Structure 1
Amino acid sequence: MASLIETHRSGAEVVSGDAICRKKSVDLLEELGLPKGLLPMEDIQDFGYNRTTGFMWLVQRKKKLSVVEVYVPEASPEKVTFKTGTGLSDSFDATAFALGE
């Protein structure tokens, strides 16, 4: 995963440190119209978003989630789909990831 991040790092907005990474992550989710509680927000070391490629990453101290892709289908904006590296995917109601909204 580190090499994939490196290919998108050039031109990306990158921040380090738990507090600023949490804020930037939530701000980006809100900007994209995604639920603010979509990502695990514990012990974040590095966060980056490359607006040109649309690639976003979040690196944590401990592995929490083996998800390689998250998307909201245009045809079903009330659903969030998660895909793993093994090709398995599942969809959930977006409201399940709201942060007390």
Structure 2
Amino acid sequence: MSLITDEIRSSATEFYTGNDICQVKSKFLLTEVGLPNGLLPLEDIEECGYVKDTGFVWLKQKKKTEHKFEEIGRLVQYAPEVTAYVEPNRIKKLTGVKAKELLIWITLNEIYVNDPPTGKITFKTPAGLSRIFPVSAFEIKEEPNDVKEENAAAKEVKETAAAVEVKEV
């Protein structure tokens, strides 16, 4: 059963559909509230929304996905619908996110950055268990614009060279 009703959609301060814009907006929101931008690496997001008055956020994707955070060696599972309430440096009442601990999947319901300068982030379960990791494990390193432009130019040169080779054969 979906937690997202038409009433919630209509009260949203921000509402977007389509993977590209939802990816950008979800990373922006995480950064804006003081959390790492790679915390919710969802795929094929169909819609996302934010009700600023309450802090309620939702992300809907086509299907359940799993992501391994390589730096800490943890596998995390994201349901087709992820919801939460956000506030500065904290996500509360999180639904749709589980982490694999040894051989079992454990539901997560709260994530917070303790003291931003220390670079530590805490994940809590409904039972009160918690784990602390470095914030850097959940950040997506953005390339500076000049590096992006160089990479795009290099890719274009390679594609042009490949097209020329195909024509010559």
TM-score scaled by structure 2? 0.49
Q: Which residue of 2 aligns with 1:82?
A: 123
Call closer, same or farther: CA 1:61–1:31 in 2, change over 3 Å.
same
Choose which of 135, 146, 153 in structure 2 pairs with 1:94.
135
Tell which structure's C-alpha radius of gyration is larger: 2
Kindly tell me the number of residue pairs found equivalent between the two proteins: 98
The structure showing larger relative contact order (alpha-carbon pairs under 8 Å, at least 6 residues apart) is 1
Instruction: Work out the percentage of aligned pairs sharing the same amino acid.
Output: 51
CA shift at 1:59, angstroms? Answer: 1.0
- Name the structure where strand makes up a greater proportion of residues: 2
Structure 1 regions of 5+ residues with no counterpart? none
Residue 26 of structure 1 aligns with which residue? 27
Q: Which runs of 5+ in 2 are unaligned?
A: 66-77, 79-96, 98-107, 143-169
Counterpart of 2:11 in 1: which secondary structure? coil
User: What corresponds to 2:75 in structure 1?
Assistant: none
Root-mean-square deviation (Å) = 2.4
Paired with 2:141 and 2:131, the residues of 1 have a C-alpha distance of: 23
Q: What is residue 15 of structure 2 aligned with on the other side?
A: 14
- C-alpha distance after superposition, 1:56-84 (max 9, x if no partner): 111111112224443334xx333333345
- Shift of the 9–82 alpha-carbon distance from structure 1 to 2, 3 Å rule, reads farther
What is the TM-score with the length of structure 1 in the denominator? 0.75
